[in-house]
């Protein structure tokens, strides 16, 4: 894992969880499978038994995880490895880095109500959305930025979305035309996007 790089592992949720149709937490499972794939590809494959099916790999991962003060998961034996997971619509993404990071993705959807904008955006951001050529895209962009900042700190709902502390660095990205994302960290970074093996083999 190179310093200054945040690795994003992304894929469509059904690719590895298509046989788990009754599983209520398929999105979370897919995100963790992406974490496993990322760790394996970045040189940490020795953490996991060879030739194990996804369910067995998940069991090994779960046994390795702890939770921070606000519930943010981490690898108890390897605190130098930082990760964060997000999912939206058909997609999930896992950010992996040698620095604390937060990631969020959001599928394009109509803005539910003016009240939601007022509750989550400050006055400047509300004007920015109102004046944008595509107000929905602008709202989603700002939303992913705020969520990635919250997930970076690990404080979750303890933070006011209107007054989020800006990180040192953030970058926007798109997985599809209507699927926006943002990564945040407290030091400068570049991102590398890696699509899951299953997804790559299907396109």
State the pLDDT at residue 13.
76
State the pLDDT at residue 158.
67
Pairing, β 65-67 against β 73-75: antiparallel
Question: Which long-range contacts does 170-174 make (Cβ < 8 Å, 24+ apart)?
Answer: 170/145, 172/141, 172/144, 172/145, 173/8
Q: How far apart, in Å, are the Cα atoms of 30 and each of 77, 85, 107, 132, 168?
A: 22, 10, 17, 34, 29
Nearest to 146 by CA among 132, 157, 160, 161: 161
Q: How far apart, in Å, are the Cα atoms of 89 and each of 14, 38, 102, 109, 167?
A: 11, 21, 19, 10, 26
- Reported pTM: 0.88
In whole angstroms, what is the distance from residue 90 CA to residue 113 CA? 23
Domain residue limits at 188? 5-200
Please list the pLDDT of the chain residue by residue as tens digits (203 residues): 899 999 999 998 776 555 555 555 667 788 999 999 999 999 998 888 776 777 888 899 999 999 987 888 999 999 999 999 999 988 999 999 999 999 999 999 888 788 889 999 999 999 999 999 999 999 999 999 999 999 998 876 667 888 888 899 999 999 988 999 999 999 999 999 999 865 343 33
State the pLDDT at residue 197.
66
Tally of domains in the chain? 1
In whole angstroms, what is the distance from residue 75 CA to residue 61 CA? 9
* CATH code of residue 9: 3.90.470.20
State the pLDDT at residue 133.
94
State the pLDDT at residue 153.
85
């Amino acid at each position: 894992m190179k310093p200054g790089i945040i690795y994003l592992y992304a894929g469509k949720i059904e690719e590895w969880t298509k046989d788990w149709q009754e599983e209520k937490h398929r999105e979370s499972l897919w995100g963790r499978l992406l974490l496993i794939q990322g760790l394996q590809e970045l040189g940490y494959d020795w953490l996991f038994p060879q030739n194990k099916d996804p369910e067995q790999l998940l069991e090994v991962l779960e046994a390795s995880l702890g939770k921070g003060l606000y519930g943010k998961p981490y690898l108890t034996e390897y605190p130098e490895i930082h990760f964060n997971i997000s999912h939206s619509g058909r997609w999930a993404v896992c950010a992996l880095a040698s620095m604390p990071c937060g990631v969020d993705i959001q599928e394009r959807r109509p803005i539910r109500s003016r009240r939601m904008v007022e509750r989550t955006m400050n006055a400047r951001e509300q004007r920015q959305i109102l004046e944008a050529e595509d107000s929905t895209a602008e709202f989603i962009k700002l939303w992913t930025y705020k969520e990635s900042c919250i997930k970076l700190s690990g404080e979750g709902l303890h933070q006011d979305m209107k007054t989020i502390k800006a990180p040192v660095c953030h970058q926007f990205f798109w997985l599809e035309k209507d699927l926006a994302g943002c990564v945040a960290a407290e030091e400068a970074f570049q991102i590398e996007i890696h699509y899951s093996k299953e997804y790559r083999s299907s396109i």
